[in-house]
């Protein structure tokens, strides 16, 4: 089945460590996104990529890094510089046809906890 796969579902990180969250899509979408969600809040955009080998910072990019070497993959690294990384992370992708509303698809998310 086509969709977006995020892994791992749950991840624990020690302070000072970098961790990488995986996001893979087989929908042939050009654009991919990473969002962060804190308890009781909406989603905030971390990074986005419209094409391979190109990406831009979103609203809360500090302490995060990404790469887009393949169309299907958009991994997010949470670095030690991110002061409060405990959150729920959602990856998404979209097609270029915007006449239909249902053109952005989300993965099932990854829970990151700093211990």
Contact yes or no for 65/10 (Cβ under 8 A): no
Least CB distance to another protein at residue 3 (A): 10
Does 10 help bind another protein (rule: CB under 8 A)? no
Choice between 51 and 81, CB closer to another protein? 51
Contact yes or no for 80/53 (Cβ under 8 A): no
Site for another protein in 56-75 (CB under 8 A): 58
Contact yes or no for 41/59 (Cβ under 8 A): no
Mark 69-108 with x for binding to another protein (rule: CB under 8 A) and - for no binding.
-------------------x-x-x-xxxxxxxxxxxxxxx
> What secondary structure letter does DSSP report for 86?
-
Query: Which of 19, 21, 33, 114 is in the footprint of another protein by CB under 8 A?
Result: 33
Q: What six digits make up the tokens of 98?
A: 């915007």
Contact yes or no for 108/88 (Cβ under 8 A): no
Q: Residues in the site for another protein, rule: CB under 8 A? A: 30-31, 33, 35, 40-45, 48, 50, 58, 88, 90, 92, 94-109, 111
């Amino acid at each position: 089945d086509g969709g977006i796969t995020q892994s791992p579902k749950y991840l624990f990180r020690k302070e000072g460590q970098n961790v990488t969250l995986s996001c893979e899509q087989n929908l042939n979408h050009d654009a991919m996104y990473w969002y962060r969600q804190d308890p009781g809040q909406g989603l905030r955009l971390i990074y986005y990529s419209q094409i391979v080998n190109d990406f831009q910072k979103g609203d809360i990019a500090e302490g995060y890094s990404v790469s887009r070497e393949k169309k299907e993959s958009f991994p997010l690294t949470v670095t030690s510089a991110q002061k409060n990384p405990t959150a729920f992370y959602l990856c998404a992708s979209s097609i270029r046809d915007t006449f239909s509303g249902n053109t952005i698809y989300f993965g099932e998310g990854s829970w990151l906890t700093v211990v």
